[in-house]
Amino acid sequence: MKIKEIRINNFKRFTDLTITGIPETAKLVVLVGPNGCGKTSLFEAFNVWYQIKGFSMLGTHDYQYYIKKSNYNNIQDKTSVFFFDDINKIIKLIYYGSSLSKGQICRSFYFRSAYRNESNFVISNLSKQKNPINDMEINRKTLITTDAIVSENYHRLISSIISSLFIKENNDRTVEELRKELIEKIQISIHNVFEDLELSSLGEPLENGSFYFTKGNSKNFIYANLSAGEKSAFDLILDLIIKSSYFTDTVFCIDEPESHMHTILQSKLLKELYSLISKNSQLWISTHSMGMLKKAKELEEENPGTVVFLDFENRDFDNKVVMTPSRIDSTMWKRFLDLALGDLSKLIAPKIVVFCEGNTNGRKYKDFDAQIYTKIFNSKYPDVSFVSVGSCSEIENEENISMKIISQTLSNSKKIKLVDRDDMNDNEIEELKNQDIKVLSKRHIESYLLDDEILKLLCEKENKSDKYDEIISIKKAKLEDSISRGNPKDDIKSASGDIYVEIKKILQLSHSGNTKDAFFRDTLAPLITPETQVYKELEKDIFE
């Protein structure tokens, strides 16, 4: 089902609300606004419509009562009574396509609350699970109910595996093939969100049934050992994959899917949820997350017409309100920033933000330059933040979304853009300076870290000053090797790995860093102090 228009009268905080203009192409609908503005109340309206239209459920819903007219005389408090027969006068949904049968209404909505918490489970026996479309426990819940359904979905997954063993068409297939087929989709989605987390097994269902994972050197650890953010993301991915086989033409409503997650994870999760939604369904979310708002904006740019933003802020729902999808312009985006961060940015804002080159994702070389600069200048410049925002060309790009977000949020902070020199000539450097972009006087940060002055200080620190000449000779030799491979004569970065290995051997270093990057950051960078010439050069490059 895809919603086209909603009309709500005298329900919760809505006196007379119409939401219209949602295109049929909409796959993701994002509700934006501060706490208490009505986002969850809209989901509750969907929920009441769904329960009454699909399941003829009666009884209380917060302060409102839904009854049959024949029961009216038995109700003492008649001030908040709404007749079951009049639900369309209170909540009316207009959707694309023909009218829905009772069975279609039963799978028209699926709800997840913001209160998702199942910290641990281990299965020692299996029980038959009801079809979730007809399960009253699922369909009677409200959005203040705590969701704890990871174990339930484990049961459903195991049941599917067992059932597949008794399908005649699977006679020629191995058990391993059947098991892999059923969990492979989950494994792929988990990998799309977590680069280093893998769903490795389902354990032994009758002894220690649970989800088991592998992460780095940790093998087959249990679901209980995931972080809160990992559990929350895994829960939503697992649930959407499993429930999508039952709810095929459905509006999936998730209240605050970002709970317990950092910004990058929020962004990746929304992208995955978006990809898992079928063409006949819609995903509705309410969020305060900057990561999710940013990703939703990107998804709309990549797939025009598929993402809709509904802005609940500054609406007077005591009066008639007609709401249409909001256009995401610079003013709207700044309001998103204010909503996501509030006054926090004013409290933590540094005096200066330096945008520098570097990779902000993954594990290898993550924020390397920013970490080095911070290590060197933190003592003298504690109010300066170094932020990795990509390559030189990305720093030059005025539309760089990361720089825009930070610049708008930290509007009172001074901004500096810094790039490596690389192969730039004097004219190119001058052009960048005219754009207020500073350029290192040396090729890259490794040129400063492996400067002869710093290597001499390293030898002195290790009480091996007699090894200095040998290290300088090795440095020159490895640089010559790099040049012979076609690299520029000042490209010490290309030789830095070999130089690092030789320095450790010559000085017999231990506990100085297990990788080249760690060695540069934790052993060499602290040697660049205000007394050194290298420090003064870098300071001039960045701050003058």
Determine the pLDDT at residue 13.
78
Domain ranges of the chain: 1-108+249-342, 118-128+139-246, 346-543
pTM: 0.62
Q: How far is CA 328 from the centre of its chain?
A: 20
Most confident of 181-185, 212-216, 331-335, 450-454: 450-454
Which tens digits make up the pLDDT trace of 297-317?
Answer: 889 989 999 999 998 887 888
Q: Whats the size of the chain, residue-wise? A: 544
> pLDDT at position 336, please?
65
Phi and psi of 351, rounded to 5°?
-70, -35
Instruction: Kindly state the average pLDDT of the residues 289-300.
Output: 85
Check whether 18 has a pLDDT greater than 90.
yes
What's the pLDDT tens digit per position in 370-403? 889 999 998 898 888 888 887 888 888 877 777 7
Strand partners, 283: 28, 252
Instruction: Flag whether pLDDT at 80 surpasses 90.
Output: no
CA atoms within 13 A on the CB side of 260: 17
478 pLDDT tier (thresholds 50, 70, 90) = very high
Cβ(285)–Cβ(30) below 8 Å:
yes
Mean pLDDT of 117-143: 69
Residue 349 has pLDDT above 50, yes or no: yes
pLDDT of residue 73: 58
**Cα–Cα distance measured from residue 215 to residue 6, given in angstroms and rounded to the nearest whole number:** 45
Say which DSSP state 229 is in: H
More confident residue, 130 or 211: 211
**pLDDT tens track for 27-54:** 999 998 877 888 988 998 898 888 888 7
Main-chain dihedrals φ then ψ at residue 169, nearest 5 degrees:
-65, -15
pLDDT at 341: 57
| C-alpha span between 320 and 237 (Å, rounded) | 38
Q: Is the pLDDT of residue 452 over 90?
A: yes
Domain 1-108+249-342, second-level architecture: 3-Layer(aba) Sandwich (3.40)
Residue 50: the pLDDT is 86
CB 224, CB 154: distance < 8 Å:
no
